[in-house]
Amino acid sequence: MTNTTLLDGNVEDVKAGLSGLDATQLAALLAAEKAGKTRKGVLDAIEAAQAGADEAGSDSAAASESGATPADALDKPADISPAAEFDPSGAPHQVDGIDMGHPAVDANPRANTTDLQNRIDFNDPTREGIDVVTERTQPVE
């Protein structure tokens, strides 16, 4: 019985099919069962199989189930490709895997701003912010 059809069986079938599955597979089965039939016997069997997995596998399975990041992954460098292009403002183009249509992503941060607002640039490390504002807010002739 394959992992994809394992949960189609009865409780005894599922219990019999758990041996040999790794922590990631067990976590996926647990999540699928919780999202589906939520049979107590199946949930208990999968959780027991997870507890019996090796320590590293159990940590990964628990993290996968909860959506948490494993602690050892927090110390690893991010897998983000370097910017190959830059905007005229100097902002790098690094949009790997970003859904630009997502409501939390502002694809046009200067929309609905005035010319005056866009003349103020706080990114000059050689100047104090108040000096930049004072200079840039003077009327343009």
In tens, the pLDDT along 45-65 reads 888 888 877 544 545 555 555
More confident residue, 72 or 17: 17
Question: What confidence tens digit (pLDDT) does each residue in 65-100 have?
Answer: 555 666 666 677 777 777 778 877 777 777 666 777
What pTM was estimated for this model as a whole? Answer: 0.37
User: Is the model's pLDDT at 114 over the cut of 70?
Assistant: yes
Backbone angles phi, psi at 74, to 5 degrees: -70, -20
**Residue 135, phi then psi, degrees to nearest 5:** -70, -45
Token pair in block for residue 66? 């909860």
Instruction: Give the pLDDT mean for 99-111.
Output: 77
The DSSP element (H or E) to which 66 belongs, if any, is: helix 55-66
Q: Reduced to 3 states, what is the DSSP secondary structure of residue 15?
A: helix
**CA dihedral over 5, 24, 13, 2, signed as positive or negative:** positive
The contacts of residue 100 (CB under 8 Å, 6+ apart) are: 107
Query: Looking at the predicted structure, is the pLDDT value of residue 135 above 60?
Result: yes
**Inter-residue contact 49 to 42 (CB < 8 Å):** no
- Specify the pLDDT at position 119: 67
Residue 109 has pLDDT above 80, yes or no: no
